[in-house]
């Protein structure tokens, strides 16, 4: 069902890790939003950064959390 959305029919050339990144960047529906500032985290499940409460957060908020925690 996603065949038509892949640029240049390059779907088969993408390795699995690439899929996640591509999806995260191109599918707003699966885009992970920061639980603190509601900005897209630019991440997907595999490399999610989490707050001290275990919520997915963006890089900026992650850095903030780190600096607060110290």
Residues contributing to the site for Zn ion (CB under 5 A): 34, 36-37, 58, 61
* Minimum gap (Å) between residue 50 Cβ and Zn ion: 12
The smaller minimum CB distance to Zn ion, of residues 45 and 55, is found at: 55
Q: Which residues pair with 56 in a beta bridge?
A: 50
Identify which of residues 21 and 39 has a Cβ nearer to Zn ion in the complex. 39
Tell me the closest approach of the beta carbon of residue 64 to Zn ion, in angstroms. Answer: 8
C-alpha–C-alpha distance, residues 56 and 70, integer Å: 20
| Contact partners, residue 38, CB within 8 Å, separation at least 6 | none
């Amino acid at each position: 069902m996603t065949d038509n959305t892949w640029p240049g029919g390059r779907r088969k050339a993408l390795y699995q890790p690439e899929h996640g990144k591509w999806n995260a960047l191109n599918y707003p529906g699966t885009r992970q939003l920061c639980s603190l500032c509601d900005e897209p985290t630019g991440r997907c499940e595999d490399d999610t950064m989490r707050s001290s409460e275990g919520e997915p957060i963006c890089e900026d908020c992650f850095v903030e959390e780190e600096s607060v925690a110290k």
